[in-house]
């Protein structure tokens, strides 16, 4: 708990800013608040308050005043966030939890125990949920990177999984059949992490695939267009195939992968070709994961993310989340809006 030096003005600022979260604070204003919280006797800031201020200043010249001041208020009043183990448990909300687990999570975030979760309490939950997802995605990158450090070993594992007749080479039918089911050879993003619907062939086409099909409809019959369209669609299927190979691809995507990585065109994949396939697959997976991490980080930096989730939870529209409303959505799965 911080010493009560000049905290009155800072707390009033916190309450005012939290009530009008669309306003912003400049770096200079944040520095002024830090001076208000400065303890001349100890010649230092309370450590937790200093951490909040430092993070805010590093984020840029403008900070979201509502969320910043809630952080400051928590630091001043000594509000403790759940432990890392609990935050990991909160991360399971993305795929849905049991009613008992949801009730336990509710108890952790209904800080004042009044039976409702207000915006500030929900904001803390969103903060922990987002960071749990980011931590899990970062761990996936580490595991895939470790595999990439020994690409030949990973290629041998692929050969072992794909070579059903044990002739030392992968036949096309072997590759296509298993690729459609999913190779499960890297720690790819789960559907709830990447926004997909289920394991297996993706139900949604990629943006590039949609564009290729739309272009074909708009320009059908133009001289030379069919070849251009085929190339566009092949590239689109290749990108989607690499992104989804671990969890399952469509037949079109499997065909595109085969045509690309059967480099010598002999109708089989040898160890060198499998190594090239794995390297591209792992690189694509890491790029996709980094993109998702960035989208979650961006969502956590916006006040409207909390407002959007509040709207989803708040079935009766009273501006607060009742326990029953929380449990109902927690069981089905809580998604942080990232678009």
pLDDT computed for residue 152 by the predictor:
94
Our CA angle for 80, 84, 87, nearest 5°, is: 85
More confident call, 39 vs 333: 333
Q: Across residues 134-145, what is the average pLDDT? A: 90
What is the DSSP track for 264-328? T-SSEE-HHHHHHHHHHHHHHHHHHHHHHHHHHHHHHT-HHHHHHHHHHH-TT-SSSEEHHHHHH
Sign of the Cα pseudo-torsion (209, 211, 212, 217, in order) = positive
If one compares 238 and 204, the residue with the highest pLDDT of the two is 238
Residue 200: pLDDT band (50, 70, 90) is very low
Enumerate the domain spans of the chain.
7-77, 84-137+297-332, 150-287
Match domain 84-137+297-332 to its CATH number in 1.10.238.10, 3.40.718.10, 2.40.30.10, 3.40.50.300. Answer: 1.10.238.10
Sign of the Cα torsion 279, 285, 287, 289 reads: negative
Q: Which has more confidence, 22 or 40?
A: 40
Q: How far apart are CA 17 and CA 27, in angstroms?
A: 15
Coil, strand or helix at 55: helix
83-101 pLDDT, tens per residue? 445 566 788 898 898 898 8
120: pLDDT strictly greater than 90: no
Mean of per-residue pLDDT scores for the chain = 75
User: Contact 241/256 with Cβ under 8 angstroms?
Assistant: yes
Looking at residue 330, what is its pLDDT?
93
């Amino acid at each position: 708990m911080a010493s009560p030096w000049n905290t009155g003005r800072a707390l009033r600022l916190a309450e005012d800013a939290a009530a009008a979260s669309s306003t912003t604070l400049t770096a200079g204003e944040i520095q002024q608040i830090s001076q208000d919280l400065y303890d001349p006797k100890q010649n230092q800031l309370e450590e937790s308050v200093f951490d909040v201020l430092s993070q805010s200043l590093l984020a840029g010249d403008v900070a979201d005043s509502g969320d910043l001041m809630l952080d400051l208020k928590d630091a001043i009043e000594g509000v403790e966030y759940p432990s890392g183990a609990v935050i990991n448990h909160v991360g399971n909300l993305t795929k849905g939890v049991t009613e008992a687990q949801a009730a336990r999570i509710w108890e952790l975030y209904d800080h004042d125990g009044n039976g409702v979760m207000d915006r500030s309490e929900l904001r803390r939950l969103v903060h922990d949920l987002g960071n749990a997802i980011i931590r899990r995605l970062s761990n996936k990158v580490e595991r895939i990177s470790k595999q990439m450090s020994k690409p030949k070993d990973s290629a041998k594992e692929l050969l072992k999984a794909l070579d059903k007749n044990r002739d030392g080479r992968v036949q096309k039918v072997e590759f296509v059949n298993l690729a459609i089911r999913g190779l499960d050879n890297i720690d790819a993003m789960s559907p709830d992490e990447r926004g997909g619907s289920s394991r297996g062939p993706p139900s949604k086409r990629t943006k590039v695939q949609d564009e290729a099909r739309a272009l074909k409809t708009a320009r059908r019959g133009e001289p030379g267009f069919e070849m251009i369209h085929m190339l566009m669609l092949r590239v689109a299927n290749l990108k989607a195939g690499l992104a989804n190979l671990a969890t399952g691809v469509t037949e079109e995507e499997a065909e595109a992968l085969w045509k690309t990585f059967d480099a010598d065109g002999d109708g089989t994949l040898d160890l060198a070709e499998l190594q090239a396939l794995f390297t591209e697959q792992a690189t694509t997976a890491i790029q996709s994961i980094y993109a998702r991490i960035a989208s979650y980080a961006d969502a956590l930096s916006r006040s409207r993310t909390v407002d959007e989730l509040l709207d989803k939870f708040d079935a009766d529209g009273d501006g607060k989340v009742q326990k029953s409303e929380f449990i109902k959505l927690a069981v089905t799965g809580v998604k942080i809006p990232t678009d």
